[in-house]
Amino acid sequence: MNAERRFVEELDDFEDDFDRWYVEVVRKAELADEAPIRGMRVVMPYGFALWENMQAQLDWRIKATGVQNAYFPLLIPRSMLEREAEHIEGFAPEVAWVTQGGSKELEEPLAIRPTSEAIICPMYARWVQSYRDLPILINQWCSVLRWENRPRAFLRTSEFLWQEGHTAHSSLDEAEERTKLMLEVYRDFVETELALPVIPGQKSESEKFAGALRTYTIEAMMGGKKWALQSGTSHNLGDHFGKVFGIEFLNAAGQREYAFNTSWGLSFRTIGAIIMVHGDERGLKLPPRVAPIQTVIVPIWRKDAERETVESAVDGVRESLRDVARVFVDRRDDKTPGWKFNEWEMKGVPLRLEIGPRDVAGNQAMVVRRDTHEKQAIPLDELATRIPQLLEEIQDNMFETAKRMLDENTERVSTYERLKERVAANAGFSRVWWCGDETCEEKVKTETKATIRCIPFDQPGGTGDCIVCGKHSDTEVIMARAY
């Protein structure tokens, strides 16, 4: 087999073994590698550059709502973590503990943060005295640790990167407004920058964040098995954490009240979503707005006499594109052009420019799109105008393609048998009527492994019969298996 094709053809089949395909793409595209610690991964430079671009696009959106970045300790005393019983119960199986410092056993074990409410709320209690001290709007970029039994790169690793926002407010209405605002920030970021269509909605009581009053989510459909991926959540914590951690303030009437809190987070599992939604049999397809390299230039020559002419033209093109795209020139002389084409397709670079002696003579470059594989010759002096246009076209096309997949694999289901058939066949999202009884919800989970992904905001109106028990219902939910 030709070595150039083998690089890609050694990928496990996209249709037949999607899970294995995912693992191979993460490795071959050099996004992440196995760490010498179970359940953890090393995020490699290419993968981290992708995360940095995503982080930058989300960070400015968060700050635009009035939030400031800060940083809180990694370690949480056990007594603090245990102050909210439901919260600690929800995270207990995943918490890792530090019990020794140097050569001495600690008087009190310290939890490595699985999330930071229990270390941030005591600080808010110290900072808040009056209603004038509210709201507090803080976000932090950090890693958290949750001991994972079934690790998978980006999707479920014991340590993962994310942002977590934590706010405190003087009223429940204000907290609710903030909770929904941040979910909208996530929806806009994921759809606009990552080209991932999502369904926003509310979690059921059994699926909400431990200790929260309400949890809102954006749910995306992955490629391959058409399972769901929770891609960002926002929690209205009510005044429960305020009471537990003593976040009290004097209101305008001079009366003491407890603050209302929110928390919200989005992690690098969205990198996993990018891979699974946009990828194909050739590897990654990265949305141009967050791709580490938007355009790769591959110089082509056979004879040394051609090299100087081609390199001179390549340098001119790179300079002309410097301000309009993230450009990389692949000058490696130990790889053939064919190898490079396949490798950059594997790594998902949106555009490839091929420039050889004939292209130089014709004052053009051959431009190849990763999303459609279309090729076109573009005059060199038009590249600075056309490349940004093509990148936007690719971004839009990737979103529309993913939206078609979501729409075509979402079905309104009216019978329990049909629901079970669709779940067993990995057929996608099922929109069903649900009476609100957790017994019906648990029956579906036990018998099919599907869960209520969300109660969509876009309710159809009217009424129907619960998919499980047949009782009257005015609530439609999304049911599916999930990563």
Rounded-to-integer distance, Cα 446 and Cα 160, Å:
29
Query: What confidence tens digit (pLDDT) does each residue in 268-323 have?
Result: 999 999 999 999 999 999 999 999 999 999 999 998 889 999 999 999 999 999 99
Give 1's pLDDT tier (boundaries 50, 70, 90). Answer: very low
Q: At what angle do helices 172-193 and 45-64 cross, to 10 degrees?
A: 140
Residue 2 pLDDT level (bands cut at 50, 70, 90): low
Residue 135: cis peptide before it, omega within 30 degrees of 0: yes
Cα–Cα distance measured from residue 353 to residue 361, given in angstroms and rounded to the nearest whole number? 16
- Whole-number percent of the chain with pLDDT over 90: 91
Give one DSSP letter per residue of 301-329, joined into a string: -SSHHHHHHHHHHHHHHHHHHTTTS-EEE
Mapped onto helix, strand or coil, the DSSP state of residue 110 is strand
Q: Which CATH superfamily is domain 295-391 in?
A: Anticodon-binding domain (3.40.50.800)
* 3-278: CATH number: 3.30.930.10
> What pLDDT, in 10s, does the model give residues 468-480?
999 999 999 999 9
Mean confidence (pLDDT) of the chain: 95
* Tokens 């903030």, residue located: 178
Give the CATH number of domain 410-480.
Answer: 3.30.110.30
DSSP tag of 382:
G
For residue 62, the Cα-to-chain-centroid distance in whole angstroms is: 15
CA-to-CA dists, residue 390 to 243, 292, 294, 385, 416, angstroms = 54, 16, 10, 9, 46
For 8, counting Cβ atoms within 10 Å of its Cβ (0-12 exposed, 13-18 middle, 19+ buried), the class is: middle
Pair of tokens at residue 54: 């995503």
Annotated domain spans of the chain: 3-278, 295-391, 410-480
Rounded to whole angstroms, how far apart are CA atoms 31 and 15?
22
* C-alpha of 111 from chain center: 25
Tell me what pLDDT residue 4 has.
Answer: 56
